[in-house]
Amino acid sequence: MSKKKTAAIILGAGMGTRMKSQKPKVMHHIGGRPMINHLLATLDVIKCDHTVVVVGPGMDDVAAAVSPHKTAVQQERLGTADAVKAGVDALGPFKGNILILYGDTPLITEQTLNAMLAERDEKNNPAVVVLGFEPMEPGDYGRLVTDDEDGELIKIVEAREAAPEELAIPLCNSGVMVVDGSLLDGLLSRIKNDNAKGEYYLTDIVGLAREDGFSASVVEGDEEELVGINSRYELAQVETILQDRLRERAMKAGVTLVDPASVYFSFDTQIDPDTIVEPNVYFGTNVTIGRGAHIKAFSHIDGAYIGNGANVGPFARLRPGANIGDGARVGNFVEIKNSDVEQGAKVNHLSYVGDARIGAGANIGAGTITCNYDGFMKSHTDIGEGAFIGSNSALVAPVKIGDGAVIGAGSTITNDVEADALALARPEQKNIKGAAAKLRDKKRALKEKSKKGSPE
């Protein structure tokens, strides 16, 4: 890692017209958070000292998302050099390495950034290090013109300005660079906009640095890291690449994914070793799972904690604040929100549990509902350790079921039940001897009569 201090300027002023969106492009999510936050996280890993995000006018939501990092507003879209200038002005005097990144190219890795910073420290001390790559389709990318002998970077030519032999160069400009902070401001101030687009091209700094006797060089990167997002289609492509990385990370950490491609993670999903995740499971943000848990197929898990050896699913829905204890079981078609299901408790079938505590070892029968909302207020249900709630019970909160209590099936419980009591809150059963047969005879006779009366 470089011993010099590092600052980063992230360009994000573009609205991203092709996204056809009300929100700035860099605010679109991948892996459960805005794409800009992925870049900031990578900069954290390389211990970047200062970061400025360049935004367009009125992009207050970007400023909020990147806080406490600074934002600088580029008033008019005059080109990449002008955008970087806005960032440099906000950064203030800085003599270390300045990384220039694009907010819509969020997959760049810390390894690549470190390789570029290391190249800046090489003995020929390049003023500019550019991240190049050889895309499948070079198209509109700027072309990197290098010296045949020493491989040094001579200049960057924009595709529109390139001569045919330059257009044939496979090595392209990713846009990412590292520049000597003591030179950047001076170089930027000499860039002109007398070109095809009438914009201030950041790419001109390579030629200008060389005019001053400095060198420039190229580090080559992988196209997969450099996919830019300009459309919803590319957003989905980047999501796919990111998901593959997250799946690989989970498997390397000792998690079994039976069918990795069908499991969706968030950037912060945390799973301990020996947990098994079956196909078609979705993890929203803020999920933590212990060791040896089993997450069965088609479960949707968001903002939940799942303890060691717990069993969840198939078809379970865990919402924020679901806290599933060690060895607990949450079965099919069960929804749990803001509730503690303590160690070894079971909610195996077709239940809604919201704003509740289910004590250790309690058993919640099929179809049990905690009625936590009366249309105005949310209330709490407390179920004691080892309690048994019979199937199809409605527990009308606020209500407390004591340890070891038993609730008869089909009860609607509105009053607290003390420990070890049996509560039955349903009409008593009455059997009337022979009444079913009598009823059948009566109905049959009625049907016969109506058939005779009706015309064929």
Q: Catalytic residue numbers?
A: 349
Closest approach, Cβ 14 to ligand UD1, in A, equals 3
Closest approach, Cβ 146 to ligand UD1, in A, equals 14
Among 6, 7, 119, 201, the residue binding ligand UD1 under the rule CB under 6 A is: 201
Closest approach, Cβ 110 to ligand UD1, in A, equals 20
Nearer to ligand UD1, 158 or 340 (CB): 158
Nearer to ligand UD1, 17 or 182 (CB): 17
User: Interacting stretch for ligand UD1, rule CB under 6 A, among 102-110, 180-188, 209-217, 410-418?
Assistant: 102-110
Among 202, 238, 246, 287, the residue binding ligand UD1 under the rule CB under 6 A is: 202
- Based on the number of CB atoms within 10 Å of its own CB, is 364 exposed (0-12), middle (13-18) or buried (19 or more)? buried
H or E element: which one contains 444?
Answer: helix 435-453
Residues 6+ apart with CB under 8 A from 129: 116, 119, 120, 177, 178, 179, 216, 217, 218, 219
Q: Which of residues 221-280 bind ligand UD1 (CB under 6 A)?
A: 228
User: Interacting stretch for ligand UD1, rule CB under 6 A, among 39-47, 101-109, 182-190, 295-303?
Assistant: 101-109
| AA letter at 37 | N
Q: How far apart are CA 87 and CA 72, in angstroms?
A: 6
Closest approach, Cβ 148 to ligand UD1, in A, equals 21
Closest approach, Cβ 82 to ligand UD1, in A, equals 5
User: Interacting stretch for ligand UD1, rule CB under 6 A, among 1-9, 77-85, 347-355, 398-406?
Assistant: 77-85
Bridge partners, residue 353, by sequence = 336
Nearer to ligand UD1, 6 or 203 (CB): 203
Alpha helices in 191-314 (DSSP H): 205-211, 232-252
User: Interacting stretch for ligand UD1, rule CB under 6 A, among 9-17, 275-283, 352-360, 440-448?
Assistant: 9-17
Q: Would you give the DSSP letter of residue 398?
A: S
184 binds ligand UD1 (CB under 6 A): no
Among 158, 302, 355, 382, the residue binding ligand UD1 under the rule CB under 6 A is: 158
103 binds ligand UD1 (CB under 6 A): yes
Nearer to ligand UD1, 218 or 389 (CB): 218
Residues 6+ apart with CB under 8 A from 196: 158, 160, 161
Q: How far apart are CA 114 and CA 117, in angstroms?
A: 5
Cis link prior to 68 (omega < 30° from 0)? Answer: yes
Q: How far apart are CA 102 and CA 211, in angstroms?
A: 26
Q: Which of residues 41-60 bind ligand UD1 (CB under 6 A)?
A: 54
Q: How far apart are CA 146 and CA 155, in angstroms?
A: 7
Among 48, 51, 82, 407, the residue binding ligand UD1 under the rule CB under 6 A is: 82
CB 25 within 8 A of CB 19: yes
Q: How far apart are CA 185 and CA 173, in angstroms?
A: 21
Nearer to ligand UD1, 107 or 401 (CB): 107
Task: Count the Cβ atoms, other than its own, within 10 Å of residue 448.
Answer: 10
120 φ, ψ to 5°?
Answer: -60, -30
Q: How far apart are CA 7 and CA 274, in angstroms?
A: 40
Among 80, 97, 266, 275, the residue binding ligand UD1 under the rule CB under 6 A is: 80
14 binds ligand UD1 (CB under 6 A): yes
Closest approach, Cβ 197 to ligand UD1, in A, equals 7
Taking CB atoms, the residue at the shortest distance from ligand UD1 is 142
Tokens representing residue 70 in the block: 């600074």
Q: Quick one: which of 368, 336, 342, 374 has its CA closest to 355? A: 336
11 binds ligand UD1 (CB under 6 A): yes
Among 42, 71, 203, 368, the residue binding ligand UD1 under the rule CB under 6 A is: 203
Q: Quick one: which of 363, 367, 354 has its CA closest to 405? A: 363
Closest approach, Cβ 215 to ligand UD1, in A, equals 19
Residues 6+ apart with CB under 8 A from 353: 334, 335, 336, 337, 339, 341, 347, 364, 368, 370, 381
Nearer to ligand UD1, 144 or 395 (CB): 144
CB 116 within 8 A of CB 98: no
350 binds ligand UD1 (CB under 6 A): no
Binding site for ligand UD1 (CB under 6 A): 11-14, 54, 74, 77-80, 82-83, 102-104, 141-142, 156, 158, 172-175, 201-203, 228
